[in-house]
Structure 1
Amino acid sequence: MNDDFYNRGLAKAKQKDYAGAIAEFTHAIESNPYFADAFCQRGLAYYDSGEILLAVSDYTEALQLNPESVEAYYCRALARVALKNLPGALADADQVIRLNRNHAAAYNLRGIVYRKMGHVHDAIANFKLAADLYLQQKDKDNCRLCLEKIKQLQPKQNLTVVHQRPTPTTPIMSPQEYFTQLLEKAEKGDTRQALEDLNWALQVDPQDAQAYCCRGVVRYKQGNYREAIADFNQALQLNFQDAIVYRNRGRARFQLGDHQGAIADFNQALQIQPEDALLYIARGNVYRAMGNYLGAVTDYTKALQINPDDPQAYYNRGLAYAHMEEMQRAIADYQQAASIFCEKEDWKNYEHVLENLKKIHSPSIESKQSKYNMLRQRLLRLVGGYWEIAQRLIDQTKRYYPGMSEEWYMEKVIDDLERDRG
């Protein structure tokens, strides 16, 4: 008989006859005082009729009879929010999630509670989890609502406003600011969390070109160069024409040994940002790796014209000069780099530069390689600073005249080049 009362109560609640539903559920409970679902449904009817305290009482009774009732915990959490009992609501939402890790509405409710308590970061985290679950459940409307809540809260992540109460005039954080925060997170070493956030963003919007770009940067920092390049390619296909894409794809290509591809990307980036010193340093590094030391020096010099206090540009130019046997210039650049590193208290790089200075000043090395270095410098000048050309000529000469010394081969190549040029 109590089932008949219960079913009639459900029917009346569906028709919004809450007084009638309460009466039927009460009969069901009188017939069976251990009927947990009847307490829970009567609590819902009380809640819908505005009797919030009575609703909480019934939900509590239902939980005493069935401590694993997800519905009773969730309903009581909603009622406690209405009563402004935020700690109680939060405790109930936590219980729902403990019993069901995929309860999207509970994460959303927990986000609401955290927002009311002023815990902005926790609110955003829960709205993200709710949006992700709604997305998996193909509930796009609720997913979109969670995203809107995140947009409204994101500005308060800024340290200057994080402790302030929300105001209607607070500006919404732009996508650029959001992705900048993710990149800053990756710079500080938290690449895993940044990658998770970007994967989530791309699940929500697979056409977000900026998200692909940022994920490429994070993957580059993780050393996943091929995956990074794939993300940069996707960003470009979606018409995200930004120097950051070309610069970082160039860096990834360089790491994979694709020197020509790297230079092409740096050239493209420089067309967009012709005054970016870091781009000239990056391209100079590729030239140096290819043996084009003259091209490397030119780029490092351009970087220093833009930023005269960049110690890395001085150090890299010093390396290029050393390969060209321009030792005095190399020493001057090393000394300048060491001085700036010292001012910045960057002792690791400072010591590294000093080690290179010691190698140049070593008398044993100078005396042993004096003639060889002079020949190498003459040959480099004859081939325009491209050591790979010089090496190719030396290798050809070795095939024709096997068994001779390195100095003999360099002298032979030099003589041939000078004779051919008259």
Structure 2
Amino acid sequence: MNDDFYNRGIEKAKQKDYAGAIEEFSHALQLTPYSAEAYLQRGLAYYDSGAIHQAVSDYTQALNFYPDSVEANYYRGLARVVLKNLPGALEDVDRAIRLNPHYAAAHNLRGIVRRKQGYIQDAIASFKKAAELYLAQKDKENCRLCLEKIKQLQPPEKPVQQQTSTSAPIITTNAYFTQLLEKAEKGDTREAIADLNWVLQADSQDAQAYCCRGVVRCKMGNYQEAIADFNQALQLNFQDAVVYRNRGKARSLLGDNQGAIADFNQALQIQPEDALVYVARGNAYRAAGDYLGAIADYTQALQINPDDAQAYYNRGIAYTFLEEMPQAVADYQRAASIYCEQEDWDNYHQVLNNLKKIQTSHPESKQQKYNLLRQRLLRLVGGYWEIAQRLIEQKREYYPGMTDEWYLQKAIEDLERDRGR
């Protein structure tokens, strides 16, 4: 091996010039093509630069020349975790441990792999061994992190007695994240965030943890941070409807209604019978002024779930914007009935208050006429009040000094004439 190229590669890697390091190691390998160490170091540079597949290839070449390399086995296992090849990662890390039973990092990585596979008891055993080795090496910080992992993975209750197989998972990864979300639902959002931060500290490539943390951050009102977590989950190929649905909600709450609608569309492609997504997209349409689109989505949600009080309530709101009060009253009444049956008194009283406002309003005949004209114009422009407003303002510019009712009537007449009605 050419030491000059190799040493320059090591130095550039230390400076985080990974492209330069890869080039130097490649020159070294052209001169000495059987150097396991050069392949290992180039693999590390590839890994640090994000080229995970190339890293695995170089680690494999290193192992072809030197199968007993503890480091090559360990680092290929680490890269395979990123690529979600958990069986391959477990095989590599087990081999590294056989070659060096005192390699604390390998026991720690094995714990991560077994946790991701759902074998929590086995993961705890690996983290415990890693903690013991770190303690013996006087590495207090890594020892503390391993002990925290053990604490978090301990089941809340003792396993039932009939569950005798130690190879079966006590709690799956999905169930673990479900417990964290339930904790957040009960108001323990800070504790849930702390748990998820720990998970991501242990494994920064855990896409499901990013998704879960995003959901909790949404509950806390930290919408920008939540979106960042959902983006990270998607970059790690966690293509799940829950990511798009919750990112859409966060975007909508930040005022990005069109972006929210795009996310809800993606969620519905993955899960087309999700009533929650239709309600959420309906809310975004309504916020954007597309009341007819909102009503269509709420109606679709009710076809999937006829007892969805929220869909009735939101559709009622959309109908009020279109001045279609009989339909709004009917939807409010249905929503109130469902909330009453569910003993959801907060929402029940909120719907009743809105219902009372509609039923006790007695507009004068002039206002009634204006509302009817407004509703008629809205229908002509597809429910988009922003378009209707622009048309009215155009009429004001051409015909100043007329009444509001006159401008509405003029806009309607011109639209109907242009459409040949």
- Shared fold by TM > 0.5? yes
Note closer, same or farther for the CA distance 1:326–1:233 as it changes in structure 2 (3 Å cut).
same
Task: Provide the residue aligned with 2:236 in structure 1.
Answer: 238
Match of 1:313 among 292, 299, 311: 311
Task: Provide the residue aligned with 1:278 in structure 2.
Answer: 276
CA distance in 2, matches of 1:420, 1:394: 16
SS at match of 2:363: helix
Task: Provide the residue aligned with 1:220 in structure 2.
Answer: 218
CA distance in 1, matches of 2:258, 2:321: 21
1:193 Cα deviation after fit: 0.3
Task: Provide the residue aligned with 1:288 in structure 2.
Answer: 286
Task: Provide the residue aligned with 2:320 in structure 1.
Answer: 322
Task: Provide the residue aligned with 1:173 in structure 2.
Answer: 171
CA distance in 1, matches of 2:364, 2:187: 42
State the AA in 2 paired with 1:278: L
State the AA in 2 paired with 1:291: G
Note closer, same or farther for the CA distance 1:285–1:171 as it changes in structure 2 (3 Å cut).
same
CA distance in 1, matches of 2:224, 2:370: 40
CA distance in 1, matches of 2:293, 2:190: 37
Note closer, same or farther for the CA distance 1:407–1:137 as it changes in structure 2 (3 Å cut).
farther
Task: Provide the residue aligned with 1:337 in structure 2.
Answer: 335
* TM-score, L = length of structure 1: 0.63
Deviation readout 1:189-221 (Å, 9 max, x if unpaired)? 111000111111111111111111111111111
Q: CA RMSD in A?
A: 3.0
SS at match of 2:307: coil
* Gaps in structure 1 of 5+ consecutive residues: 1-123
Task: Provide the residue aligned with 1:207 in structure 2.
Answer: 205
1:325 Cα deviation after fit: 1.8
Task: Provide the residue aligned with 1:193 in structure 2.
Answer: 191
1:406 Cα deviation after fit: 2.1
CA distance in 2, matches of 1:349, 1:263: 25
SS at match of 1:365: coil
Note closer, same or farther for the CA distance 1:383–1:367 as it changes in structure 2 (3 Å cut).
same
* TM-score, L = length of structure 2: 0.63
SS at match of 1:364: coil
Note closer, same or farther for the CA distance 1:305–1:166 as it changes in structure 2 (3 Å cut).
closer
Contact 1:311–1:337, Cα closer than 8 Å, also in 2: yes
Task: Provide the residue aligned with 2:385 in structure 1.
Answer: 387
Task: Provide the residue aligned with 1:399 in structure 2.
Answer: 397
Task: Provide the residue aligned with 2:369 in structure 1.
Answer: 371
CA distance in 1, matches of 2:239, 2:301: 23
Contact 1:209–1:236, Cα closer than 8 Å, also in 2: yes
1:166 Cα deviation after fit: 8.1
* Gaps in structure 2 of 5+ consecutive residues: 1-123
CA distance in 1, matches of 2:220, 2:361: 42
State the AA in 2 paired with 1:362: T
Contact 1:290–1:388, Cα closer than 8 Å, also in 2: no
1:367 Cα deviation after fit: 4.4
Contact 1:376–1:410, Cα closer than 8 Å, also in 2: yes
Match of 2:258 among 257, 260, 269: 260
1:145 Cα deviation after fit: 8.0
Deviation readout 1:47-90 (Å, 9 max, x if unpaired)? xxxxxxxxxxxxxxxxxxxxxxxxxxxxxxxxxxxxxxxxxxxx
State the AA in 2 paired with 1:411: Q
Note closer, same or farther for the CA distance 1:168–1:410 as it changes in structure 2 (3 Å cut).
same
State the AA in 1 paired with 2:327: R
Deviation readout 1:277-313 (Å, 9 max, x if unpaired)? 0000000001111111110110000000000001110
1:363 Cα deviation after fit: 4.3
Contact 2:200–2:209, Cα closer than 8 Å, also in 1: yes
Task: Provide the residue aligned with 1:359 in structure 2.
Answer: 357
Deviation readout 1:354-387 (Å, 9 max, x if unpaired)? 1222222224336462111100111111112222
CA distance in 2, matches of 1:398, 1:421: 22
> Across the two proteins, how many residue pairs are aligned to each other?
291
CA distance in 2, matches of 1:378, 1:301: 22
Contact 2:159–2:170, Cα closer than 8 Å, also in 1: no
Deviation readout 1:129-174 (Å, 9 max, x if unpaired)? x97xx799587688568746865x33xx25xx56869844563311
Note closer, same or farther for the CA distance 1:265–1:363 as it changes in structure 2 (3 Å cut).
closer
1:245 Cα deviation after fit: 0.6
1:242 Cα deviation after fit: 0.6
Contact 1:341–1:350, Cα closer than 8 Å, also in 2: yes
CA distance in 2, matches of 1:336, 1:150: 44
CA distance in 2, matches of 1:333, 1:252: 26
Contact 2:149–2:198, Cα closer than 8 Å, also in 1: no
1:187 Cα deviation after fit: 1.0
SS at match of 2:343: coil
Deviation readout 1:242-280 (Å, 9 max, x if unpaired)? 111100110010011111100000000000110100000
